[in-house]
Amino acid sequence: MTVPRQRDEAAEKAKPLKGAAARTHSLMVSTANAMMRDGMSPSVSEVAEAAGVSRSTAYRYFPNRSDMVRAVVAEALGPILDWEDRMNGSDRITALYAAAFPRLYEHEATFRAALRQSLEADGADATLGRGHRRQLLASAIRDLGLPKGKADRLIRALSLTFGVEAMIVLRDIWGLSDDEAQSTALWAAQAMIEAAMREAGGDGNEES
C-alpha cells in the first residue's frame, strides 16, 4: 500500500515535472529547506530571491508559503511517504517506527522548522500542520480488524507517539537518546494497540 500524499485531488493527478521545470522546483525546495534550517520562516518571494528565480516563476510552483513548506517536508520524508511492509498485526507498527524515526533524526532541523512555521500560520492554513502521519498510521494498523470507530480512535492516539512532536518531547524534555526515544514511542504505541484490541474483543461486533 502506497501512502497517499496530503494534497488535493488535482495535485495528485499532476504530471511529474521534467527538465528545467523539475530543476527549478528542486532548487526552490532545497533553498527553502536551507533557509528554514537556519531558523528563518521565508516567504515564497524570499526563497525566490535567494534561489535566483523570478517571483512569477516561483509562484507558479508554490502559490503560497504553505505549499512550499509541504514540499520541503515531503522531500525530507522521502521514502517514508511510500512506506510499505508485509508484516502482520502489531509488527507493522514496529516496522513503521523503525523506518520513520531515523528519518526524523536525519532531517530534524527541517521538521522542527516546519513545525515552527505551522504554529506561526495561526489558522491561516488549516492543513499546514497535519503532516502525513494519519495515512501512515492507518496503513500500519489496517489489518488489525478493528471496527472503524475504534480504528479511528487508535490512529488519533498513536499520532501522539509519532512524528516530530513526540521526538521533541522525548528528547528535549526527557533528554533521551535517539534509540531511547524511538523505543519509548514504540512501547507506548504497542500498549495502545494492545488496549484497543482487548477492548474490541470485549465488545464483540460493536462498530463504535
My answer on whether 37 and 131 are in the same domain is no
My answer on whether 59 and 85 are in the same domain is no
Residue 34 lies in a domain: yes
Joined together, the cell numbers standing for residue 84 give 510499505
My answer on whether 127 and 49 are in the same domain is no
Cβ–Cβ < 8 Å for 73, 81: no
My answer on whether 134 and 187 are in the same domain is yes
Range of the domain at 105: 77-202
My answer on whether 100 and 19 are in the same domain is no
Domain count, the chain: 2
In terms of Cβ atoms closer than 10 Å to its own Cβ (0-12, 13-18, 19+), residue 99 is: middle
Residue where one domain finishes, among candidates 39, 63, 87: 63
My answer on whether 57 and 81 are in the same domain is no
b/e per residue 74-85 (b: at least 16 CB within 10 A): bbbbeebbebeb
Residue 99 lies in a domain: yes
Give the residue with greater pLDDT, 4 vs 79. 79
Could you count the other beta carbons within 10 Å of the beta carbon of residue 100?
A: 22
- Report the CATH number at residue 45: 1.10.10
My answer on whether 126 and 51 are in the same domain is no
What is the torsional sign of CA 20, 25, 28, 31? negative
My answer on whether 109 and 46 are in the same domain is no
Q: What is the pLDDT at residue 123?
A: 53
Q: What is the pLDDT of residues 94-131, one digit of tens each?
A: 999 999 999 999 999 999 988 888 887 655 554 554 55
Cβ–Cβ < 8 Å for 83, 139: yes
**Overall pTM > 0.85:** no
Distance between CA atoms of residues 30 and 24, nearest Å:
10
